[in-house]
Amino acid sequence: MGRGGLTGGAAGPGSGSGPGSGPAADSSPPPGERPVTIADVAARARVSKSAVSFVFNGRRGLSAATQARIVRAAEDLGWTPNARARALARKRPRSVGLVIRLDGPAPGPWTDVVGFLERLGGALASGGTALVVRAVSSAFDEEEAYAVFAGESQVDVVLVGALGTGDGVPALLIRSGLPFVAAPAPAAAAVADRKERARLAARHLAALGHRRVALVATELALLDAFGDEARLFGVEVVPRPLPNPSPVAAEEATAALVAGSSPPTAIVYETALLAAAGLRTTAALGLSVPTKLSVVGLDDDPVAASTTPALTTVRRDEAAWGRACARLLLASIDGGRSGMPAPPRAELVVRGSTCPPPPPPRQERTP
């Protein structure tokens, strides 16, 4: 787990007398023999407890030098403010911030993203914590959203990385003093996930005996990844890029593929929704799935189990990933620490839309 150093966002009355003045001697056991308290931080920084409280509750008034001394004392002692007490002081429930970038490549199939958000929000709610989501369309807006989270004390901690995060965000959070939990790097996770989905689908179809497979997708990186993985299993790939991820585009691509002079024996679609559109086309053309053509979707969706036949898909348990991130965030808010669990691996879900390919047509011998 990564946490931003609590540096900045200082607040409170001026140093010297009042909140900034040093406390009286304390005869309680030293910090090493009991949990660290705000009094220990105040004693180490040579200020009052109210000054420490002001710094970590976003109030203004202390000098920069006093703020830095308080923050340094807290870091040296490993102390973090109690989130419930901070929430009461700020008169708002404790909460987690999450910023989603809508520009650029999606952080994963959107069905997975929705599943992640549902489980993350639900698990946080069960722990008495709100999920505050902001959707942005540029790197500038993303950094601005995090700056608002920090500057206006809107949230207790933010989750970065799980759905993609700009390069400058962690440094911004460290400077602001807003705690954060860092999930695995999104770029590396996306590449690994793409290859794993492609590998599972290609291996499944190759094991069934398919040797000519089409891929219908909008994402060029997915087309490349599937081609690389399929060739390892001796499968020839017919790439079919889509101009957009609409069902109409998938239907048109499907019709063109099956009408060709050398049609594939299986078609893999970027999403289950596109695969469902492909199934509608094959049904309209009288082409039996899977006996004449196998169909696979590279993500999972509730529609996959309700198509005729039910779709074979590749999925990740994003619900479990959302719950795991929620547990980590709740531990962070409560001042605890926990290791970041590994994202769930992709898995093949075999349903009714795949089977061995039909035998090749017999060639009649000429006398």
- CATH number of the domain bearing residue 97: 3.40.50.2300
In a domain, 2, yes or no: no
Q: Which span out of 58-62, 165-169, 351-355 was modeled with the highest average pLDDT? A: 351-355
- Interior CA angle at 87 toward 160 and 322, to 5°? 35
- pLDDT band at residue 177 using 50, 70 and 90 as cut-offs: confident
- 74 and 131 both lie in a single domain: no
- 236 and 134 both lie in a single domain: no
How far is 332 from 222, CA to CA, in rounded Å? Answer: 36
Take residue 39 and report the two structure tokens written for it.
């009094």
- 330 and 309 both lie in a single domain: no
Burial of 204 (0-12, 13-18, 19+ CB in 10 A): buried
83-91, long-range: CB < 8 A, 24+ apart: 83/156, 83/333, 83/334, 83/335, 86/56, 86/57, 86/156, 87/156, 89/53, 89/57, 90/57, 90/58, 90/153
For the ranges 141-145, 200-204, 306-310, 361-365, the lowest mean pLDDT is seen at: 361-365
- 247 and 336 both lie in a single domain: no
- 164 and 205 both lie in a single domain: no
- 29 and 68 both lie in a single domain: yes
Region for 167 from its dihedrals, namely left if φ exceeds 0, alpha if ψ lies in -120 to 50, beta otherwise? alpha
In a domain, 209, yes or no: yes
User: Could you give the number of structural domains in the chain?
Assistant: 3
Burial of 338 (0-12, 13-18, 19+ CB in 10 A): middle
Note down the domain range covering 328: 93-184+320-344
- 311 and 195 both lie in a single domain: yes
In a domain, 355, yes or no: no
- Cβ atoms 120, 126 nearer than 8 A: no
- 221 and 300 both lie in a single domain: yes
- pLDDT band at residue 367 using 50, 70 and 90 as cut-offs: low
- 102 and 172 both lie in a single domain: yes
How far is 359 from 208, CA to CA, in rounded Å? Answer: 12
State the CATH number of the domain containing residue 38: 1.10.260.40
- Cβ atoms 335, 82 nearer than 8 A: yes
Using one digit for the tens of pLDDT, what is the confidence trace for 35-44? 778 888 889 9
Residue predicted with more confidence, 104 or 28: 104
In a domain, 105, yes or no: yes
How far is 298 from 276, CA to CA, in rounded Å? Answer: 12
In a domain, 48, yes or no: yes
Domain end among 81, 101, 125: 81
- 232 and 264 both lie in a single domain: yes
For the ranges 33-37, 46-50, 76-80, 156-160, the lowest mean pLDDT is seen at: 33-37
In a domain, 216, yes or no: yes
The pTM of this model reads 0.62
In a domain, 124, yes or no: yes
In a domain, 10, yes or no: no
Residue predicted with more confidence, 11 or 322: 322
